[in-house]
Chains A and B, each alone.
Chain A
């Protein structure tokens, strides 16, 4: 293949672009804003790789931890690929300029993160994701200079150009000209991140709205495991969002507790022993939920010096946004939506069920099963971008040049109709209702009753949207208007997936089905067929080769 279109310029999109360009493939990388604004820059904690074995660690153990952490529904082959390439990925990132923290012997430092048998999370101070983005952007610039990568900003995904289960490019919305443009390519890679914006408050970015996955779903792309939504156990609520208190705070020794009659109960340690505070995220969030109490995280006993040295960002954000001095006071924490294990279903090569359409990074679902381990998603973002690029480079082009101008002008007409629609229901109102319902029914613990109620609301909202009853805001960018339909579809798909999994596993807990069931030791695949949302359970072999 010689021409690739990548949608989204976070860590996965950047990596894929670099890896395509380094193989001589001409690459267009689009996003509304530069990579410095992508959610990837928020990742603080680190990236996992086995860099040393003298302490007993091994790649096999990384694979085992990842599979166990994911409650044994991720594919062994996929996870083996991910963990085996991790050491090389960390070295590659360093070679591009990522400033990893080093110890006195100049070795890359590693810290323990939840669910790990050995400490294997490499980090770059308190801004691992940011440092990686800085390095990747520089390398992208190098290929820009050679004419192999073109970065386009102020550009949003509208839809894919799909015919007979093959993708030929994408329709893009140009924010400057406010028009649609079809861009053909031998392969399209979706790298649009998660769907945080679908919830009221999360730890993530407002740019991750889930539209691309929702639109592609409407266009016949299968999605997977949408019920698995990671609640990070320790977030501190602020006015506009839940801010992440990095797992590093517990990695450094921080202890979770609640108060009972003036006494502290260290419930995680009581239940799971010494390493209790660092159990996998699903376990910690669930146990916190079950206490029914206000939970606190204490790091004050580490002392000011260690706090300022090892977790200064936690100190800063608590002080700035809550006026809380963590060297003296405990942090009120609660679980918050943080990461999406589910997403676009892909095979080992990261291709979707549509030929020549790939998905990478957080919007793709393959490595994390029912629960992701901290530090594994930055790894997956890089690994998936690389894997897709390798596959793309290995394929011969067989596509005939195709003309999509008629399709583009039809969709442009739709866009204009949206601009002029005089419906009665404000689009902002629909988005708020969507958020309220999704947040309410896809909490840490779910039940069929609540999910059904939400599905009913979403059905109604989808009806309102498809029958032209929405009043869009003409002063907003069209993106915020036309994206509504896709976002609503993804919202409903998440609910339908959650309803269909009648068991409790990892991040999906059902009050009406509290046990884990062997018959559900599979992935949920959901597809869309003329308004029908169909789910099925598949084994590892179906998607992971």
Chain B
């Protein structure tokens, strides 16, 4: 199988395409392909020329950490959760997420996610358990990987300047459900940095690797 990767040496250099040959097991994930290509002493491109080690972020290898989010054959996904057997065509094309600055190859800087949550004071503060909220939904939101796939897929998210995207909408619900006071300021931030800019494409829900029902969070936040 031919593996084509959009590469970039550092944040300031120009991106370029490089292709590799993969002749291993086809019943594996994209993460396994990357490990396979990098494993040897000397990484070789499809013409047998020396190539730099392919950088990509990875920690858990089982879709629990969100590290390996990238664009796979044009679709955002986790490399460890996307299997060759499910891909169409006989070429695998890998690109870094497009809405974040590239650090190198498939590694991007998703610091803006943490930065925006900080700006919006996304924390609980004084806790109060309130049965009127849905524990089940809170649990699902608690699983958010902060991988950025929802932002990548969203037609409204650009660079996170004003619109913070689905993960912020979900965290807003989570925080409101668990904090004792000043729920108004959470709602205000939610309106300002989410509701105002969301066109409800729901691309975020479809792409979420842990299936967080963002629409449910929105419905509940909008009712407040």
Q: Which residues of A contact B (CB under 8 A)?
A: 33-34, 36-39, 41-42, 94-99, 102, 106, 124-125, 127, 130-131, 134-135, 138-139, 141-142, 144-145, 151, 153-154, 175-176, 205-207, 239-241, 243, 317, 320-321, 426, 428-429, 473, 475-477
Ordered by A's residue number, 28 sampled pairs between the chains whose C-beta atoms are within 8 Å are A33-B67, A34-B114, A36-B65, A37-B65, A38-B59, A94-B127, A94-B129, A97-B178, A99-B139, A99-B142, A102-B135, A130-B143, A131-B143, A135-B124, A135-B142, A139-B123, A139-B124, A141-B123, A175-B103, A205-B65, A206-B59, A240-B29, A240-B32, A240-B61, A317-B62, A321-B62, A426-B41, A475-B9
**Pairwise interchain contact A131-B118, C-beta atoms closer than 8 A:** no
- Determine the chain B residues whose CB is within 8 A of the CB of A94 once the complex forms: 127, 129
Alpha-carbon gap, A56 to B66, bound state (A): 42
| Whole-angstrom CA separation of A282 from B209 in the bound complex | 34
| CB-based contact B143/A42 at 8 Å | no
Q: Is B28 an interface residue (CB 8 A)?
A: yes
Q: Tell me the complex Cα distance, A97–B144, Å.
A: 14
Is B122 in contact with A141, judged by CB distance below 8 angstroms?
A: yes
Residues of A within 8 A of B61 (CB): 206, 240-241
Closest Cβ–Cβ distance, residue B14 to chain A (whole Å) = 16
> Can you name the residue of chain B whose Cβ is closest to the Cβ of A471?
B41
A38 to B64, CA, bound (A): 10
Q: B135 contacts A99, CB within 8 Å?
A: yes
Q: Given known contacts A205-B65, A239-B29, what 16 new A-B pairs fall within 8 Å (CB)?
A: A33-B67, A36-B146, A38-B59, A38-B65, A42-B65, A94-B127, A124-B139, A124-B142, A130-B142, A131-B139, A131-B143, A134-B143, A134-B144, A138-B123, A428-B39, A475-B52
Cβ of A121 to closest chain B Cβ, rounded Å: 17
Which residues of chain B (169-201) have a CB below 8 Å from chain A?
171, 174-175, 178
> Are A99 and B59 in touch, CB under 8 angstroms?
no
Write out the residue numbers on chain B whose beta carbons fall within 8 Å of the beta carbon of A477. Answer: 55
Residues of A within 8 A of B66 (CB): 36-37
Query: Dominant SS at the B interface?
Result: loop
Partner among A42, A97, A475 whose Cβ is within 8 Å of the Cβ of B64: A42
Within 8 A of A (CB), among B108-151: 109-111, 114, 117-118, 121-125, 127, 129, 131, 135, 138-139, 142-147
Contact yes or no, B58 A206, CB < 8 A: yes
Nearest chain A CB to B59's CB is how many angstroms away? 4
CA distance A130 to B124 in the complex (A): 17
**B42 adjacent to chain A (CB < 8 Å):** yes
Q: 8 shortest A-B CB distances, which residue pairs?
A: A475-B52, A142-B123, A426-B41, A37-B59, A138-B123, A95-B127, A99-B139, A131-B142
B→A interface (CB under 8 Å): 9, 11, 25, 27-29, 31-32, 35, 39-42, 52-53, 55, 57-62, 64-67, 80-81, 103, 109-111, 114, 117-118, 121-125, 127, 129, 131, 135, 138-139, 142-147, 171, 174-175, 178
Contact B59–A205 (Cβ < 8 Å): yes
Q: Is the CB of A37 within 8 A of B123?
A: no
Shortest Cβ gap from A470 to chain B (Å) = 12
Contact B121 A34 (CB under 8 A): no
B60 partner, pick from A41, A135, A429, beta carbons under 8 A:
A41
| Chain A contacts for B175, CB-based, 8 A | 97, 138
Report A-chain residues with C-beta under 8 Å of the C-beta of B57.
Answer: 33, 37
- B53 and A475 form a contact (CB under 8 A): yes
Which residue of A38, A102, A142, A241 contacts B62 across the interface (Cβ within 8 Å)? A241
Provide the residues of chain A in CB contact with B81, threshold 8 Å. Answer: 320
- Cα distance A371–B114 when bound, in Å? 37
Interchain nearest-CB distance for B213 vs A (Å): 15
Query: B64 to A473, Cβ gap below 8 A?
Result: no
Provide the residues of chain B in CB contact with A97, threshold 8 Å: 124, 127, 142, 174-175, 178
CB contact under 8 A between A205 and B60, given known A141-B123, A142-B123, A239-B25:
yes
- Nearest Cβ distance between residue A415 and chain B, in whole angstroms? 17
Given contact pairs A36-B65, A153-B111, A241-B61, A473 touches B53 in the complex (Cβ within 8 A): yes
Q: How far is the CA of A94 from the CA of B40 in the complex (A)?
A: 46
Among B28, B39, B111, B139, find the residue whose CB has the most chain A CB atoms closer than 10 A: B139
Q: Which residues of A contact B55 (CB under 8 A)?
A: 476-477
Name the distance in Å between A210's Cβ and chain B's nearest Cβ.
Answer: 15
